[in-house]
């Protein structure tokens, strides 16, 4: 107990808790859309595209310096965001009549982005640990600035979803009828995927790919096991995500375990517990 | 396609197809489509699975853009107001939505972006559920309903959009005789109350023999448009389907006998 109190007295742990909780709440909410749209691997693919953006920025900075002897810092984050948003738009507007199914395109994107990111990192002049940290994030490295950035992101994405919830729901549930009733379904799909892409690219730098993907899938899956309305699913997902985040960080601190995998273990346990309870209930 | 009708200039035309070609991936599956849907009529589109009848419906709804030709709407595309009943099998049951949630979606096209449905929208949705005979199922989850009840939910959603035209894609598919009759009775009642235009897609010609005003028959590469009286004749049925069929009257109703 005293060790738990000690955790809350440490400034950096408060930042870690705050940052991870924001990521958990936002990703868990968006995860409901992602699961209902059967687009779980879109999240994984966008995460890899975001990493590729970081790797490309680092590589470009080093290459320009080496080849032209000019120090031009290309910021990894904007590059990651830009590339992720472009991929999110491409996935949102992929035509129903495309020759390859969307899941195949998502798989190709995932593999291509992962491989390219590793290749680009191998050619980069930056220290490996620096690159890995930028690529995969680290929950325990979340600082005050990142918490503030994540809070701004949460408010912006939350405001867009609060205002346009009905449009996002309609084009996700029944895009044909939405089009027939006059809604620009493709534009709303793009807007929804942009919020998902932006969230993934910023969240992944803070919390890492494993934790972000966990929050995008497990809390929403847990909530959707409950036999409630869509509102229950969204609320339940956010509650499950935040609970997993706080419990995971606390357990990892107390037991001196790696934080990301502990969060995943907690959210998986929650999912299994709810599944068993629903089956027996 | 053979024998396109040439009724596009008839007064009261609501939707006019003018030499339209439809298809996917730039490959036309239907071409030279020239016909019109008139105000206040019951227009049936009849064809076997894969004949292109749903493709025509999707084009009418603006979901599918024609490869060639033009589709004209009375008053312009922006003034069209559709109620759409999609095939039940295409409605995603993963979403934990109630019957009322789904019927409320019928109101979404009437609301500006960013505005949520209000009390009036809720009242209309509840009324349409009652109109469809499932007022007591408003809070039930869509996925827990029977096939007939789901169809009525989609029907109520279409009506909640206050449509000028009701477009339905195989609304009685997979239903028993009583269920089919109940849906057709609902449409008949609605037409007598409001005079709404109905476009109804089915693969069962007998289903529409006593309900439609005009038909569009699709079979292989053949297409005919005309009134029920013009098309439901042994000669036309033989020409379209290559079968010897009679059209008989049983208790005042048309029955196609092969």
Cα B87 from Cα B106, distance rounded (Å): 16
Set of chain B residues whose Cβ sits within 8 Å of the Cβ of A163: 114
The answer to whether residue A242 scores a pLDDT higher than 90 is yes
User: pLDDT above 70 covers what percent of chain B?
Assistant: 94
Per-residue pLDDT at A136? 60
| Closest to B179 measured CA to CA, from B145, B150, B143, B148 | B148
Contact A181 B116 (CB under 8 A): no
The answer to whether residue B3 scores a pLDDT higher than 50 is no
- Check residues B3 and A30 and name the one with the higher pLDDT: A30
Q: What is the ipTM of this complex?
A: 0.89
Residue B254 main-chain phi, psi, to 5 deg = -75, 135
Set of chain A residues whose Cβ sits within 8 Å of the Cβ of B116: 165-166
Give the lowest-confidence range in A99-108, A218-227, B107-116, B147-156.
A99-108
Tokens matching residue B57:
């419906």
Nearest residue of chain B to residue A164 (CA atoms): B114
Reported as type and span, the H/E element at residue A167 is helix A165-173
Angle ∠(A211,A217,A221) on CA atoms, nearest 5: 135
Split at pLDDT 50, 70, 90, the class of B11 is low
Nearest residue of chain A to residue B109 (CA atoms): A181
Q: How far apart are the first and last CA of chain B?
A: 25
Contact A191, A93 (CB under 8 A): no
Query: Which 8-state DSSP code applies to residue B115?
Result: P
Per-residue pLDDT at A269? 97
How close does chain B come to A97, measured CA to CA in Å?
Answer: 6
How close does chain A come to B114, measured CA to CA in Å?
Answer: 5
Contact B61 A176 (CB under 8 A): yes
Per-residue pLDDT at A94? 67
Contact B108 A178 (CB under 8 A): yes
pLDDT in tens, A114-131: 899 888 888 876 656 666
Residue written as tokens 């409950």? A226
CATH of the domain at A241: 1.10.3470.10
Nearest residue of chain A to residue B57 (CA atoms): A180
Cα A5 from Cα A7, distance rounded (Å): 5
The model's pTM is: 0.89
Set of chain A residues whose Cβ sits within 8 Å of the Cβ of B96: 224, 227-230, 232-233
Tokens matching residue B103:
């019927």
The answer to whether residue B119 scores a pLDDT higher than 60 is yes
pLDDT in tens, A32-65: 999 999 999 998 899 889 888 988 888 888 888 8
Nearest residue of chain A to residue B141 (CA atoms): A229
- Check residues A137 and A183 and name the one with the higher pLDDT: A183
| Mean pLDDT value across residues B212-239 | 91
Domain of A75, in residue numbers: 2-280
Tokens matching residue B150:
């789901």
Do the strands B253-257 and B246-250 form a parallel or antiparallel pair, or are they unpaired? antiparallel
Tokens matching residue A86:
């472009």
Number of domains in chain A: 1
Contact A203, A20 (CB under 8 A): no
Interface-testing mutation among A175, A176, A183, A237, with chain B (most B C-beta atoms within 10 A):
A176
Task: Please name the member of A163, A173, A180 whose beta carbon is closest to the beta carbon of B61.
Answer: A180
Other C-beta atoms within 10 Å of A185: how many? Answer: 21
């Amino acid at each position: 107990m005293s060790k738990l109190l000690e955790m809350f007295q440490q400034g950096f742990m408060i930042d870690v808790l705050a940052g991870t909780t924001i990521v958990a709440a936002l990703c868990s909410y968006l995860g409901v859309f992602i699961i209902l749209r059967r687009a779980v691997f879109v999240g994984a693919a966008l995460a890899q595209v975001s990493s590729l953006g970081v790797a490309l920025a680092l590589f470009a900075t080093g290459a320009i310096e080496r080849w032209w002897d000019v120090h031009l810092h290309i910021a990894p984050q904007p590059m990651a965001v830009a590339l992720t948003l472009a991929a999110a738009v491409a996935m949102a507007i992929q035509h129903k009549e495309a020759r390859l199914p969307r899941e195949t395109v998502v798989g190709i994107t995932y593999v291509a982005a992962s491989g390219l990111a590793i290749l680009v990192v191998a050619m980069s002049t930056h220290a490996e640990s620096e690159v890995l940290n930028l690529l995969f994030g680290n929950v325990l490295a979340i600082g005050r600035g990142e918490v503030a950035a994540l809070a701004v992101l949460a408010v912006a994405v939350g405001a867009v979803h609060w205002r346009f919830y009905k449009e996002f729901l309609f084009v996700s549930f029944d895009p044909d009828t939405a089009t027939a009733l006059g809604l620009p379904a493709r534009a709303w799909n793009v807007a929804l995927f942009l919020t998902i892409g932006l969230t993934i690219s910023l969240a992944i730098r803070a919390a890492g790919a494993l934790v972000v993907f966990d929050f995008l899938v497990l809390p929403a899956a847990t909530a959707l096991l409950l036999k409630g309305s869509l509102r229950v699913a969204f609320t339940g997902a956010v509650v499950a995500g935040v609970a997993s985040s706080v419990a995971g960080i606390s357990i990892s601190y107390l037991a001196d375990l790696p934080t990301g995998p502990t969060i995943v273990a907690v959210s998986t346990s929650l999912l299994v517990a709810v599944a068993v309870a629903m089956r027996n209930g | 396609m053979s024998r396109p009708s040439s009724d596009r200039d008839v007064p009261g035309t609501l939707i006019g197809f003018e030499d339209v070609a439809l298809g996917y991936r730039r490959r036309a599956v239907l071409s030279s489509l020239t016909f019109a849907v008139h105000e206040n009529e019951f227009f049936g589109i009849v064809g076997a699975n894969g004949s292109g009848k749903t493709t025509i419906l999707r084009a009418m709804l603006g979901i599918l853009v024609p490869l060639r030709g033009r589709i004209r709407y009375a008053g312009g595309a922006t003034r069209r107001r559709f109620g759409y009943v999609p095939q039940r099998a295409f409605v995603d049951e993963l979403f934990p939505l109630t019957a009322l949630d789904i019927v409320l979606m019928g109101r979404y096209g009437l609301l500006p972006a960013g505005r949520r449905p209000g009390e009036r929208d809720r009242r209309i949705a509840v009324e349409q559920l009652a109109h469809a005979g499932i007022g007591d199922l408003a809070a039930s989850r869509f996925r827990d309903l029977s096939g007939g009840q789901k169809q009525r939910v989609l029907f109520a959603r279409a009506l909640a959009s206050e449509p000028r035209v009701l477009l339905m894609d195989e609304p009685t598919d997979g239903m028993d005789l009583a269920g089919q009759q109940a849906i057709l009775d609902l449409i008949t009642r609605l037409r007598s109350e409001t005079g709404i235009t109905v476009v109804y897609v089915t693969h069962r010609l007998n289903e529409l023999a006593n309900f439609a005003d005009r038909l569009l028959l699709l079979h292989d590469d053949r297409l005919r448009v005309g009134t029920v009286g013009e098309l439901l004749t042994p000669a036309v049925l033989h020409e379209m389907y290559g079968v010897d069929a009679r059209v008989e009257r049983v208790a005042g109703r048309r029955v196609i006998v092969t």
